[in-house]
Amino acid sequence: MRLAGERHRLPQNTLYAHLKPATTARCERVEDVQECLEFAARQRIPVAARSGGHSYAGYSTPDNGLVVDLAGLSYVRVDGQKAIIGGGARMYDIYEALGAAGRALPAGTCRSVGIGGLALGGGISVISRKYGLTCDHLTEARIVTPDGVLRTTSAHEEPDLFWALKGGGGGNFGIVTEFTFSTDPAPDLVVFGLDHPAGTAADVTDAWQEWMADAPDELWSSLRVDSGPKSVPSVKGTYAGTAKDLHRLLDRMPPAAREVEEMTYLQAMRHYAGPEDSGEPYVASSRMLHAHVPGSKIAELMDGQPPAMIQFDSFGGAIERVAPDATAFPHRDATASAQIFVNLGDLTEDRARALLAGVRDGLGAGTTGYVNYIDPEMPDWPTAYYGRNLARLREVANRYDPDRVLAFPQGL
Ligand SMILES: Cc1cc2nc3c(=O)[nH]c(=O)nc-3n(C[C@H](O)[C@H](O)[C@H](O)COP(=O)(O)OP(=O)(O)OC[C@H]3O[C@@H](n4cnc5c(N)ncnc54)[C@H](O)[C@@H]3O)c2cc1C
């Protein structure tokens, strides 16, 4: 283990670049993680694991605390149908290793998102309607709990803790040093994009929701609406089938400039991985949709606003076939998640947060939200993120972290 003093990796959201941990511990072995948690528990100092550093609220950078940086535990081993992944691995490491072995795991898009936060909060993927969430593939996790003990959890060993790790949110219960996932044979994918004209957000939003409501599981898509004098809708997605069949499905959407390209699984994941992060400050939030949101509402929320966007990711299919209490991830019957982003640009943080809250609450989607789009100002966040699974999650947290060693502002 190496200590990095004041030199630490900045959080991905540079709005939180001012946070100064006392020390960053670069962990290379499970024993390093155990030592960190024992030390933090003894000294009563804030402590947080850092996998990819993409927490929207900077929660892997505890001010005056200890960052347990897992970058030294970022191995990915594909062993037959299993993928064994160190707690600090990032998406690009994972997709390259899986792709080389011809296997697939539904996981995140951005190249530098960490498996730690992603899998523990659920994990929405561009193939989730066919293959489910990242956490649905978790078969075993090795976790150091705040008492310094390394535990192996699975459906058979410490099953309550294992249940909680499937969607209960990063930063709770302990620090996962290793994940084991089941994988599937890597599918070929047709990747597509639809660019709709400015001013059509109302119609496209209505059409997209109806379109996805009876789409086959093989089709996944997301609708993005960017603000502007007249807001601009665009759709992208993947189809696990032929380009010819996809074109037929796309014909049901309003006319748009269409791009369709057949790719291998690895090519598709590289495509979605995008460029390196730009390091811009932003605020973000989310809701989970359970009913049709009128397109006119979306246009009203986004027309004439400073730079902001809503991204709706389609749910249903394999996500929905898991019961809401079978894992800690409660939003199984959602039709889509809605992620809202406001880049600070020329805005003050207060102005950006006011705009964000207006869009979030304007969606009329109740007290719901995705813990991986963590919003430090989410009203009633425990209910929003965990719904009916909250009470059981709190019991698990009380059992494994009775002294609140892992406390953070939205910790269980
Ligand atoms: C550009 C971008 C793209 C994204 N794309 C997707 C996407 O496609 N799908 C999706 O579902 N989400 C996506 N997200 C959201 C992402 O899942 C969350 O931000 C997630 O928390 C990031 O995990 P991380 O490990 O990178 O972050 P970190 O900041 O390192 O960790 C997040 C939280 O988890 C805790 N944690 C991290 N590792 C561990 C561990 N090993 N054990 C216990 N606790 C841990 C941290 O302490 C912190 O509280 C995206 C985010 C960004 C910024």
In this structure, the number of other CB atoms found within 10 A of the CB of residue 63 comes to 12
All CATH 3.40.462.20 domain ranges of the chain, comma separated, are: 189-384
Cβ of 114 less than 6 Å from ligand 1: yes
pLDDT band at 6 (very low <50, low <70, confident <90, very high): low
Q: Report the nearest atom of ligand 1 relative to the CA of 408.
A: 49
* pLDDT for residue 41 is more than 60: yes
Q: 11 or 77: which carries more pLDDT confidence?
A: 77
Cβ of 183 less than 6 Å from ligand 1: no
Ligand 1 centre to CA of 35 (Å) is 23
pLDDT of residue 8: 66
Cβ of 145 less than 6 Å from ligand 1: no
User: What is the CA angle 110-378-299, rounded to 5?
Assistant: 70
Cβ of 98 less than 6 Å from ligand 1: no
* pLDDT for residue 276 is more than 80: no
The region that residue 18 occupies, defined by phi over 0 for left and psi between -120 and 50 for alpha, beta otherwise, is: alpha
**Model pTM score:** 0.97
Residue in 36, 55, 236 to alter for ligand 1 test, most ligand atoms within 8 A of Cβ: 55
Alpha carbon nearest to ligand 1 atom 53, residue: 54
In this structure, the number of other CB atoms found within 10 A of the CB of residue 244 comes to 9
* pLDDT for residue 28 is more than 80: yes
Cβ of 169 less than 6 Å from ligand 1: no
The region that residue 169 occupies, defined by phi over 0 for left and psi between -120 and 50 for alpha, beta otherwise, is: left
Cβ of 146 less than 6 Å from ligand 1: no
> Tell me: the pLDDT tens digits for 174-216?
999 999 999 999 999 999 999 999 999 999 999 999 999 999 9
Question: Domain 189-384 is of which CATH architecture?
Answer: 3-Layer(aba) Sandwich (3.40)
Fold for 76-186+388-400, please state it: 3.30.465
Ligand 1 centre to CA of 54 (Å) is 5
41 close to 405: Cβ distance less than 8 angstroms: yes
All CATH 3.30.43.10 domain ranges of the chain, comma separated, are: 2-69
* pLDDT for residue 77 is more than 80: yes
> Tell me: the pLDDT tens digits for 357-387?
999 999 999 999 999 999 999 999 999 999 9
Fold for 2-69, please state it: 3.30.43
Q: What are the structure tokens assigned to 299, written together?
A: 């246009």
Give which of 192, 196, 183, 169 is closest to 384, Cα–Cα: 169
pLDDT of residue 277: 74
